[in-house]
Structure 1
């Protein structure tokens, strides 16, 4: 089993923490996590893939062990992760995107399509039909950035909501380790973390505005594409996964009987899908 190294690198004044495993020279795989997590969400997946891939999994700016972004926006996060890939020598790579990792990774793809060898989207959305009614409080803030609408979103940062994201749609909640959601809550309690997350809720509308641009990239470049989706996700619906085939007819779409954080219950299944897809 390949050992996992835990490293920190300075990217234009932002401290970026990342996990690294596998051998240099192996096919490169970038893992991008989502809200409210960190690269810790890949703790079970990395050992299942490190014999075959050179893996790096950064904590996005504003999450986990990384420093805050220069600006609390997805463009700023993507800027830092783009520079991060250059700093660690990821010149061409497959990318695994989940939740917030999707608009980050898709920004990298439209900026540098030549760098992307394949995309694995695990509940990483790029279509309006993939957005559930669970987004309604955030949509309200997009439409009216009032103090009241912003304050209402603090409910998304509570331990109860974090647990809901992990447990909803899972047939047996006792199979979910408390390590993931407990660590997420710890990081959400960092000084300044609430402001970062509330700002990102508001800025998520820029991702939806870019959906047509992402889709044009899919149609034009036809990247190798695997969508592996927890079908019971309360935020990103199965039609969002199926829509990828509209623009990439050869896209492979697989559904798993689980929720948003599919790796918590189906890491071995997802690793098997990735190994087969990238064979």
Structure 2
């Protein structure tokens, strides 16, 4: 096995088993990859292979996703604050004192909690549809915010977001016709298989409900940007109807030196534009790592 090969590992953090992918030489700069809904570290499989020759990569599965533990909602507090705490615990256990963060979707409120609390440990940010501004919310979110305000009344509608049709839509919507053939069907089928496990839809509904509390953290995230000016690369699908491009542009308000790239892609831009994003990251890290 070469140093570039991906290793599939687990660690126990506060009694919870977390799965993670690791590749590259730990002596080289570390990039921590934090996935979004409804995916797992699987979304980074190609990026890891592209970058492992020069960088050390760690990609955890959040609790309730991928190969990490998925306890019932009665047995575990599914909140973004708790997922952040466990992620930081994993990084501490792995001895990672300094790292870059790649944040996508759910990975943004998780990673930015860590960054704003421990700015000295974060060398820089790579942002792909990782929202930190209210400007990034699109009409897609109306039913979710309605659900947060009145969960019983809106849960039937929100459950439609947990179907295979909705999962496929997340991967394919906004992708140009000539790129659709690059979208691997097993990606959304794997995500759906995770959600179709007994009890997992209740996990996802709980995290949908808890998402409202991330908005209260946005001022702290934005203050972190303004105060610490972390080097930041934004690679965002301009056709993303979950987190709109206004959310990408908003980063430049507080981070005027951020590098902004709006790609002709959707929410899962790594699937259709992975080669381009890997090249942008390699250039960015080559200048900042």
For residues 46 and 30 of structure 2, the distance between their equivalents in structure 1, rounded to whole angstroms, comes to 18
SS in 2 for 1:20: strand
- Does the CA-based 8 Å contact 1:93-1:117 persist in structure 2? yes
- Counterpart for residue 273 of structure 2: 266
For residues 271 and 198 of structure 2, the distance between their equivalents in structure 1, rounded to whole angstroms, comes to 27
1:1-279 to structure 2, matched below 5 A, reads 2-68=4-70, 70-145=76-151, 147-172=152-177, 173-279=180-286
- Does the CA-based 8 Å contact 1:14-1:68 persist in structure 2? no
Q: Alignment RMSD, CA only?
A: 1.0
Return the TM-score normalized by structure 2.
Answer: 0.94
For residues 197 and 143 of structure 1, the distance between their equivalents in structure 2, rounded to whole angstroms, comes to 17
- Does the CA-based 8 Å contact 1:26-1:52 persist in structure 2? yes
SS in 2 for 1:19: strand
Deviations 1:58-78 (A, max 9, x none): 001111110137311000100
For residues 113 and 201 of structure 1, the distance between their equivalents in structure 2, rounded to whole angstroms, comes to 27
For residues 254 and 49 of structure 1, the distance between their equivalents in structure 2, rounded to whole angstroms, comes to 19
For residues 191 and 86 of structure 1, the distance between their equivalents in structure 2, rounded to whole angstroms, comes to 31
- Does the CA-based 8 Å contact 1:169-1:233 persist in structure 2? yes
SS in 2 for 1:170: coil
For residues 177 and 194 of structure 1, the distance between their equivalents in structure 2, rounded to whole angstroms, comes to 23
For residues 146 and 268 of structure 2, the distance between their equivalents in structure 1, rounded to whole angstroms, comes to 25
Return the TM-score normalized by structure 1.
Answer: 0.98
For residues 208 and 232 of structure 1, the distance between their equivalents in structure 2, rounded to whole angstroms, comes to 23
Query: What is the aligned residue count?
Result: 278
